[in-house]
């Protein structure tokens, strides 16, 4: 990576039905929106095909937007074991696709992500969306999945800055 080039971070909010993705550029303390979207494989497809579409779409986002690092939201525990297992498969796609592209991949709990963008780990989706519109005004209106993914990228940017600050101390 060129030292004069802003760092690009890919944020991923995993889901089998809807995986949100967002790319931000970090230049010092400045964050800018690069792109965002949602990957939504058809429910009618076989489970393995849905996972393949998810994996390939993430790889395409990486090829198109050339992030330097990736961050993925961790799964909250679900009472339904089958749903939790399927979400785990979607998370695996979100972890493996960037790793295969040579990116380092960080993971953040949803409460950490919400605290980084809203100030409280108990924030709801509307509050996250509101703050994404304020922090990244050029992103425009986003779906909750894309807003969550951009929030993951922002949380990673903040965590990187905190680590760099603590490392310099």
State the catalytic residues: 13, 73, 145
CA distance 76 to 84: 9
Residue 164: phi, psi to the nearest 5? -65, -40
CA distance 100 to 141: 31
- With a CB cutoff of 8 Å and minimum separation 6, the contacts of 116 are 108, 151, 154, 155, 158, 159
């Amino acid at each position: 990576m060129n030292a004069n080039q802003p760092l690009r971070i890919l944020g991923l909010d995993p889901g089998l039905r809807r995986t949100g993705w967002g790319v931000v550029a970090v230049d010092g303390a400045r964050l800018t929106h690069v792109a965002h979207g949602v990957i939504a494989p058809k429910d009618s497809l076989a489970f393995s095909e849905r996972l393949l579409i998810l994996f390939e779409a993430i790889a395409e986002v990486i090829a198109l937007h050339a992030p330097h690092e990736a961050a993925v939201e961790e799964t909250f525990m679900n009472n339904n074991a089958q749903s939790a297992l399927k979400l785990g498969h979607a998370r695996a796609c979100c972890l493996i696709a960037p790793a295969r592209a040579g990116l380092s991949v960080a993971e953040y709990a949803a409460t950490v992500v919400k605290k980084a963008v809203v100030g409280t780990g108990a924030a709801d989706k509307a509050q996250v969306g509101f703050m994404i519109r304020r922090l990244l005004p050029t992103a425009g209106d986003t779906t909750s999945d894309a807003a969550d993914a951009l929030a993951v990228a922002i949380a990673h940017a903040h965590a990187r800055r905190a680590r760099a600050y603590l490392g310099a101390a």
